[in-house]
Amino acid sequence: MNVESKIMREILSATYTRIAISVLLGFAIGSVFMAVFNENVVATYETLFSNPGLTLQTAGQTIVDGYGALFKGSIINLSADNPVSMFRPITETLRLAAPLIMAGLGVALGFRVGLFNVGGTGQLVMGLLGATWVSTRMELPYGLHMVLALVVAIAFSMGTGALVGFLKARTGAHEVIVTIMMNYIALDLFTWFLRTPGLLLEEGGGGNPKSDPPALTAQLPRLLGDEFKLNIGILQALVAALVYWWLMERSTIGYRFRMVGHNSNAARAAGISVERTYVWAMAASAAFIGIAAANQGLGETGGLTSSIQANIGFDAITVALLGGSRAGGVVIAGLVFGAFKAGSPSMQIIGVSPEVLGIIQALIVLFIAAPPLIRAVFHLPKPEAK
């Protein structure tokens, strides 16, 4: 049997016990980082041996405060005096989770076909290029404008992804290297477009590479009125997840995708063109990332800079791994990491660096993606061989 697909299957069939342990362990180690380097705790180190209780107490307080701030910033703010600021955190979580879910689905699709799409950034940026062009350089009626921008974003991303698939199928070049190179090329190209007058540079803009704000007719409509920034992106993400589920679990093309992912030799023997499947799979993977690109480009009310890509293409890898490449799992993983993003500012305010969430995020996924690690540490039994 193909070893790689065996490993992928092991990751996919992560048991709930192991997921729970991974999450707990991630937060536990994160707490250690949070406490050990906190200013208040560091101040007690002088009396560490004479009064260890003080250090422990301060450390405990720091951890409680830190996660408290995370909760307050991402779920519900109980100390707020009006309902808008009370419920804003959860809407921010949903808003920030949307692009992570969409892009996560794209990377997940790649994993199911045995392709590692590290090129989320490049595909996202090319999608942004298309979406920004439509949203700032064209005049169309309300609704149609947004739809066209979305379609163009998907098309641009798909094209970029298909090119990777084509290079892999035609020349055998490894998709990881190709996509990493495409990331840089796309970023440079996008910056050049943003920098050049007449292309995407804002009207009467200064020297900084920045576009006009997307036209009002192209911006994503807001869901809960102007009080909240939440837009229809989260609904798009849920629809995308449904499409992904149907595509992968119910459609013929998804069956073909999975077959190539399980064992490309068997698929070839069964008469499937593995090469063509790679091209389509990379295009489909990038299409989901294109939806995320439109979400980033049309969800803003100000001008765009290249930082609008917000590292979503890379975060999508951890989302897909945490979600086990399943539609439902990716949605949950996207929500979790969206909550991390939403809660960061309130952690910053109380003096806990929100970067600790990056550590927790990486650790959780590391433990889940490396089943033997957790198994070795906790002496869990190996799943029965089938």
Positions touching another protein (CB under 8 A) are 1, 3-4, 7-8, 11, 33, 37-39, 116, 118, 167, 170-174, 176-178, 180-182, 184-185, 188-189, 191-192, 195-196, 314, 317-318, 321, 352-353, 355-356, 358-359, 361-363, 365-366, 369-373, 376
d(CA 291, CA 100): 10
Task: Supply the minimum distance, in Å, between the C-beta of residue 360 and another protein.
Answer: 8
Alpha helices in the chain (DSSP H): 3-12, 16-36, 39-43, 52-74, 83-112, 120-137, 144-171, 175-195, 233-245, 252-262, 264-269, 274-298, 312-322, 327-349, 356-369, 371-378
55-59, long-range: CB < 8 A, 24+ apart: 59/35
Residue 31 tokens, joined: 């707490």
Taking the least distance from each CB to another protein, the nearer of 145 and 326 is 326
Taking the least distance from each CB to another protein, the nearer of 11 and 75 is 11
Task: Supply the minimum distance, in Å, between the C-beta of residue 27 and another protein.
Answer: 14
Task: Supply the minimum distance, in Å, between the C-beta of residue 116 and another protein.
Answer: 6
Taking the least distance from each CB to another protein, the nearer of 220 and 319 is 319
Backbone dihedral region of 173: left (phi > 0), alpha (psi from -120 to 50 degrees) or beta?
A: beta
d(CA 93, CA 97): 6
Taking the least distance from each CB to another protein, the nearer of 189 and 272 is 189
Taking the least distance from each CB to another protein, the nearer of 239 and 350 is 350
Q: Determine how many CB atoms are found less than 10 A away from the CB of residue 207.
A: 7
Task: Supply the minimum distance, in Å, between the C-beta of residue 222 and another protein.
Answer: 32
Task: Supply the minimum distance, in Å, between the C-beta of residue 281 and another protein.
Answer: 17
Residue 47 tokens, joined: 């009396």
Task: Supply the minimum distance, in Å, between the C-beta of residue 108 and another protein.
Answer: 13
Among 148, 151, 138, smallest CA distance to 200 is for 138
Taking the least distance from each CB to another protein, the nearer of 270 and 376 is 376
Among 264, 241, 182, smallest CA distance to 8 is for 264
